[in-house]
């Protein structure tokens, strides 16, 4: 009986041990799966040359070109040859040879080489598609290598390390958050300010690359998702709520006071720009707004932070066109009207009212009929006693004539044509749309000892920083 009980106990222990082993194996598998997932670096499709009739392509150590839909090898380049790529009715023309393709071609570098499109070198692969007889060139690249070609275009590599780290995380997070922005056009993001400026290998710098490596895989999240980490140059003293620029409430893109810029004195912290009537009419016409003249330009609405939210352009016959300020800045030029934090003054105009006065009338004092008047000496010679009051009055007798009275006729308002036209003078502070991270503000915060995580959490409210790979 005792032996039977020991046998049962041993079986039970063996079963528990096996179960623990199974659980341990499952945990290892899950952990490895998680580690493998974390190790996967996101791949971006970046539109670098869009709607080109022709491009040049080469590899510094050679390249291979194959057809996307079939995988068929089309061309191998092992020397310094430059390929001329053009769109053809049947597909794509490489030099003088036409290749039929429904999805386009892909070029990959040989070895550890780079590909060059036009005069720019790129890491990763190059895909070329044809759309309406125009070429669309896409750089397929890991996000970290993509960031190498972004940061120097967006911020000075000479700035402090903590600011560069904050910018690296913001740029990485922005790219991940906007991966579906152009997905219907075959790529994730573009290489211009519509996404983030990206210049390939020529725009890399050791300082910015170090900031990217030091923050590898770190993104800013809100409720577990990468945030739309928009940023700008200089807030001018206060950032803006997202909805007041683009519409739509975003909980982490809230207006915050930002006086840190003043510490480091940005070059365009204060700015002014004069816009003539002719320039404004030309800009409006090029964007489909036809006016013969401009009567005035006025501020229609301001935000709680004091930024201009709406601009009204008053044209001939009282015709009014209203613009969101960010749209108006893009219309005129964001490097001219640098921010929405400005005041406006108008000079001249298509028509002006001018005050005019007729000649003044000078009315002389009334003259009395002349009559003999005794002098003081004659009066004093009179044989009579004078009181003290009489003597003082005689000595103080006025010798000045009364002041002439000037009567001006009423002012006349004359309406006349002003040959100079209307001039609008903008006087403002800061640079950029004002939402999210202020780069110069981050620089100012660094001088006060703030680290990159503190900088990001100041400008993006309620976020967390997570390392996702």
> Using one digit for the tens of pLDDT, what is the confidence trace for 121-168?
999 999 999 988 899 999 999 999 999 999 999 999 999 999 999 999
Residue 20 forms part of a structural domain: no
The conformation of residue 163, written as its DSSP 8-state character, comes to: H
How far apart, in whole angstroms, are the C-alpha atoms of residue 409 and residue 406?
A: 10
* 3-class DSSP assignment, residue 275: strand
Task: State which of 142, 157, 184 marks the end of a domain.
Answer: 142
Same domain, 339 and 422: yes
Same domain, yes or no: 192 and 234: yes
Considering the domain architecture, whether residues 187 and 328 belong to the same structural domain is answered as no
- CA angle (259, 264, 269) in 5-degree steps: 70
Residue 274 belongs to some domain of the structure: yes
Residues 173 and 236 in one domain: yes
Domain region containing 248: 149-264+432-467
Number of domains within the chain: 3
Same domain, 180 and 326: no
Angle, vertex CA 324, rays to CA 289 and CA 176, nearest 5:
115
Bridge partners, residue 466, by sequence? 219
* Cβ-Cβ contacts under 8 Å for 321 (sequence gap 6 or more): 284, 289, 291, 312, 313, 315
**How much is the pLDDT for 412?**
37
Assigned domain for 58 exists: yes
Judgement on whether residues 284 and 425 belong to the same structural domain of the protein: yes
| Residue finishing a domain among 142, 165, 181 | 142
Q: Is residue 373 part of a domain?
A: no
Residue 319 lies in a domain: yes
Verify that 178 and 239 share a domain, yes or no.
Answer: yes
248 occurs within a structural domain: yes
Judgement on whether residues 318 and 292 belong to the same structural domain of the protein: yes
Dist. CA 254–CA 337, nearest whole Å: 23
In this structure, the answer to whether residues 67 and 200 fall within a common structural domain is no
Q: What does the pLDDT read at residue 411? A: 39
Q: What is the pLDDT of residue 346?
A: 83
Q: 72 lies in a domain? A: yes
> Considering the domain boundaries, does residue 193 fall inside one?
yes
Given a cut of 70, the residues of the chain with pLDDT beneath it are 1-39, 349-420
Question: So what's the pLDDT on residue 347?
Answer: 81
Tokens of 161: 């390390």
Instruction: Tell how strand 225-226 and strand 231-232 pair up.
Output: unpaired
Q: Tell whether 156 and 222 lie within a shared domain.
A: yes
Whether residues 226 and 153 share a domain: the answer is: yes
423 and 318 in one domain? Answer: yes
Q: How far is CA 133 from CA 86, 136, 150, in A?
A: 9, 10, 30
pTM: 0.76
Exposure of 402 by Cβ count < 10 A (0-12 exposed, 13-18 middle, 19+ buried)? exposed
Domain boundary among 142, 170, 192: 142
Indicate the SS3 state at residue 268: coil
* pLDDT of res. 390: 61
Length of the chain: 469
């Amino acid at each position: 009986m005792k032996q039977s009980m020991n046998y049962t106990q041993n079986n039970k222990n063996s079963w528990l041990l096996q179960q623990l082993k199974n659980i341990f194996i499952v945990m290892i598998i899950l952990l490895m799966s998680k580690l493998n997932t974390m190790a996967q670096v996101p791949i971006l499709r970046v539109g670098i040359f869009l709607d080109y009739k022709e491009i040049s392509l080469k590899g510094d150590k050679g390249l291979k070109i194959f057809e996307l839909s079939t995988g068929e090898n089309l061309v191998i380049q092992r020397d310094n040859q430059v390929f001329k790529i053009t769109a053809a009715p049947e597909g794509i023309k490489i030099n003088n040879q036409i290749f039929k393709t429904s999805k386009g071609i892909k070029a990959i570098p040989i070895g550890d080489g780079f590909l060059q499109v036009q005069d720019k070198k790129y890491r990763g692969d190059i895909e070329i598609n044809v759309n309406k007889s125009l070429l669309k060139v896409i750089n397929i690249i890991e996000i970290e290598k993509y960031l190498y070609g972004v940061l120097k275009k967006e911020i000075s590599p000479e700035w402090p390390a903590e600011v560069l780290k904050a910018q690296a995380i913001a740029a990485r997070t922005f790219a991940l958050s906007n991966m579906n922005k152009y997905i219907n056009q075959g790529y994730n993001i573009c290489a211009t300010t519509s996404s983030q400026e990206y210049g390939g290998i020529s725009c890399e710098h050791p300082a910015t690359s170090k900031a990217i490596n030091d923050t590898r895989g770190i993104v800013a999240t809100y409720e577990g998702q990468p945030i739309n980490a928009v940023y700008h140059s200089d807030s001018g003293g206060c950032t803006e709520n997202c909805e007041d620029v683009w519409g739509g409430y975003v909980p982490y893109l809230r207006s915050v006071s930002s006086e840190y810029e003043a510490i480091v004195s940005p070059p365009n912290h204060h700015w002014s720009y004069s816009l003539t009537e002719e320039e404004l009419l030309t800009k409006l016409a090029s964007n489909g707004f036809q006016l013969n003249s401009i009567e005035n330009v006025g501020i229609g609405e301001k935000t709680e932070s004091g930024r201009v939210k709406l601009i009204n352009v008053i044209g001939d016959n009282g015709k009014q066109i209203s613009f969101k300020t960010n749209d108006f800045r893009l219309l005129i030029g964001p490097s001219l009207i640098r921010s929405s934090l400005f005041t406006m003054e108008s000079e001249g105009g298509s028509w002006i009212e001018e005050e005019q006065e007729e000649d003044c009338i000078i009315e002389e004092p009334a003259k009395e009929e002349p009559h003999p008047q005794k002098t003081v000496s004659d009066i004093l010679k009179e044989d009579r006693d004078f009181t003290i009051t009489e003597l003082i009055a005689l000595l103080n007798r006025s010798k000045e004539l009364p002041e002439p009275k000037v009567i001006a006729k009423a002012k006349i308002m004359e309406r006349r044509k002003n040959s100079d036209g209307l001039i609008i003078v903008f006087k403002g502070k800061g640079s950029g749309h004002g939402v999210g991270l202020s780069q110069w503000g981050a620089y100012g915060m660094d001088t006060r000892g703030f680290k990159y995580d503190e900088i990001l959490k100041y400008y993006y409210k309620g976020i967390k920083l997570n390392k996702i790979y």
